[in-house]
Amino acid sequence: MADLFDQLNDDNRQRQIIAEGAVCLPGFALNEAHELLDALTPIVEQAPYRYLQTPGGHTMSVAMTNCGHLGWVSDRKGYRYQALDPRSGQAWPAMPEVFLNLAQRAASEAGYRRFQPQACLINQYRPGSKMSLHQDKDENNRAAPIVSVSLGMSATFLFGGLRREDSCQKLILQHGDVVVWGGASRFCFHGVQTVKDREHSLLGRQRINITFRQIY
């Protein structure tokens, strides 16, 4: 059965202020969606998706890869950014221009005008995948925002407060939606609920999340 949320983003889905410094931009990436996916193919060919381990030895349910000058990795040694893909020993694929342009336009739309991401983390969600509540705090530059682009199946995005136990807002993110957070919300806990088994007309049974970070 087709995804109930797999439809064109309605005109009445307006820009939404989630919290101070955090904005949801419905459909912001729709016009570039095909270009983004075309640019993604060679990235994944060079640096295939893989399931990372946490420092505690847990295997993540979301498959990941990276592009850009730096890539985010996790293993028993900890969470960190590094210039080389640990699987191949080679540099991560370059960040495509269409990725960078979209990230900078979205950041500017949300009020962050000097965004220069050096890292782009690409997450592949399958039915049953989820992302536990966490903070993005491995970046040296903590003034720059996070820009997160959703493609494919819809998912429920959780956005909480500065403490793990704070209550979370739930946002249904559809194909083409972009969320940007920084400033007072930069270290808010966030995550993705278990993705339901549904099919997207363009990407099938998967959701791709492209997240841009400025490391320094």
In a domain, 194, yes or no: yes
* Number of separate domains in the chain: 1
Q: What is the pTM of this model?
A: 0.93
Q: Could you tell me if 44 and 206 are in contact, meaning their C-beta atoms sit under 8 angstroms apart?
A: no
In a domain, 104, yes or no: yes
Beta-carbon count within 10 A of 66 CB: 22
pLDDT exceeds 50 at position 7: no
pLDDT exceeds 50 at position 73: yes
The full DSSP string for 20-66 is: TTEEEETTTTGGGHHHHHHHHHHHHHHS--B-PBPTTSPBPSSEEEE
What is the average pLDDT across 82-97?
98
The pLDDT of residue 13: 81
Which CATH number goes with the domain that contains 168? 2.60.120.590
In a domain, 6, yes or no: no
In a domain, 166, yes or no: yes
Give the pLDDT band of residue 202 (cuts 50, 70, 90): very high
In a domain, 2, yes or no: no
In a domain, 10, yes or no: no
In a domain, 1, yes or no: no
pLDDT exceeds 50 at position 146: yes
Range of the domain at 206: 16-213
Q: Could you tell me if 36 and 189 are in contact, meaning their C-beta atoms sit under 8 angstroms apart?
A: no
The DSSP H or E segment spanning 4 is none
The pLDDT of residue 9: 41
| pLDDT (tens digit per residue) in 8-30 | 344 468 899 999 999 999 999 99
What is the average pLDDT across 33-48?
98
In a domain, 31, yes or no: yes
What is the average pLDDT across 188-203?
96
